[in-house]
Amino acid sequence: MTSTKQLNRISKFLSLILRHNPEAIGIKLDSNGWANIEEIITKTNKIRHNEFRTLHSSLIKEVVRKNDKKRFSVSTDEKYIRANQGHSLHVDLQLQPTSPPEVLYHGTASRFLTSITKHGLKPQQRQHVHLSTDVDAAIAVGQRYGKPIVLRVKAQLMSKQGFEFYQAKNNVWLTNSVPEKFISIFSSHAS
Ligand code: HQG
């Protein structure tokens, strides 16, 4: 059985190439974000000194299956893989606009609050602003950047006013931006 540590390392590596930098191993994604699994394996295993010399398709499928946030999908013919969300690259995930719940949460670091209060939530380096239905998930996201703070977004009101929302395959909610007037502080957590 593959260790959790090894699966996490592969998950991080797949996130890098499927969301941000496929050129790192000399592959291209198609316009919908899919990459050929055999090509990932061949090109990764060719790179000298890489830590995944033993990468093979059953290992990739294990990562997809066991991933805590269901970050990846495999195509029905099992030849292609893509990230479900989190892209900085412009890919079309072919998501349909969906009516969101009344409230969604966004976890961030307290040091970003002044800027968010002024400019609203922006996608920054990514394609979308990422939101969740789950406060604990939002805390975990915010913690990556410092002292976490959870913001409450009036998603349904935004939707009624014409802002589009999409639900990624792993249930993360995506939108293009969130103006300040729809945001309030839900909670801050001392870390
Ligand atoms: C902040 C991970 C200043 C924003 C997570 C965030 C998520 C602003 C940071 C997914 C701002 C961007 C995305 C403004 C937004 N001024 N700061 N106007 N607007 N920010 O990593 O949402 O685990 O690009 O609050 O779980 O943290 O990798 O976005 O703190 O689902 O699968 O700018 O990535 O998924 O940071 O995370 P990020 P995020 P994985």
Tell me the DSSP string of 64-117: HHH-TT--EEE-TTSSEEEESS--SS-----PPP-PPPSEEEEEEEGGGHHHHH
> What CATH number should be reported for the domain holding residue 166?
3.20.170.30
Q: Whose CA is nearest to atom 4 of ligand 1?
A: 108
Average confidence score pLDDT of the chain: 94
Could you tell which of 112, 132, 152, 172 is best to mutate to test the pocket of ligand 1, judged by most ligand atoms within 8 Å of the CB?
112
**Listed residues 49, 83, 117: the one ending a domain:** 83
Q: Please tell me the total count of domains within the chain.
A: 2
C-alpha distances out from residue 37 to 9, 22, 55, 88, Å = 17, 12, 11, 20
Please give the radius of gyration of the chain, using alpha carbons only, rounded to the nearest integer. Answer: 18
The distance in angstroms from the start CA to the end CA of the chain is: 34
Look up residue 162 and give its DSSP letter: T
Q: 109: which residues sit within 8 A by CB, 6+ positions away? A: 142, 144, 145, 146, 147, 148, 149
> What atom of ligand 1 comes closest to residue 115's alpha carbon?
16
Question: Is the separation of the CB atoms in 164 and 97 below 8 Å?
Answer: yes
Is 31 inside any structural domain?
A: yes
pLDDT-derived band at 191, boundaries 50, 70, 90: very low
* Chain center to CA of 127: 10
* Together in a domain, 79 and 31: yes
Is 96 inside any structural domain?
A: no
* Together in a domain, 57 and 126: no
Could you tell which of 124, 131, 135, 180 is best to mutate to test the pocket of ligand 1, judged by most ligand atoms within 8 Å of the CB?
124
Average pLDDT over residues 175-187: 97
Is 121 inside any structural domain?
A: yes
Could you tell which of 93, 108, 151 is best to mutate to test the pocket of ligand 1, judged by most ligand atoms within 8 Å of the CB?
108
The answer to whether the Cα torsion of 5, 190, 70, 88 is positive or negative is negative
Q: How far is the CA of 171 from the centre of ligand 1 (A)?
A: 16
Rounded Cα gap, residues 52 and 172, in angstroms: 29
What pTM does this model have?
A: 0.93
Main-chain phi, psi angles of 155, to 5 degrees = -70, -45
Cα angle: 171, vertex 173, 174; to 5 degrees: 135
The reported pLDDT for the residue numbered 189 is 61
Ligand 1 lining (C-beta closer than 6 Å): 15, 69, 71, 86, 108-109, 112, 115-116, 119, 121-122, 124-126, 130, 141, 145, 172
What is the domain extent for residue 161?
104-188
The reported pLDDT for the residue numbered 1 is 60
* Together in a domain, 109 and 184: yes
Is 88 inside any structural domain?
A: no
Q: How far is the CA of 130 from the centre of ligand 1 (A)?
A: 7
Helices (H), the chain: 4-15, 37-46, 57-66, 113-119, 135-143, 155-160
The reported pLDDT for the residue numbered 52 is 64
Average pLDDT over residues 176-186: 98
Check pLDDT > 70 for residue 53: no
Check pLDDT > 90 for residue 16: yes
Q: How far is the CA of 144 from the centre of ligand 1 (A)?
A: 9
* Together in a domain, 178 and 122: yes
pLDDT-derived band at 44, boundaries 50, 70, 90: very high
Question: Is the separation of the CB atoms in 14 and 83 below 8 Å?
Answer: yes
> What CATH number should be reported for the domain holding residue 57?
1.10.10.970
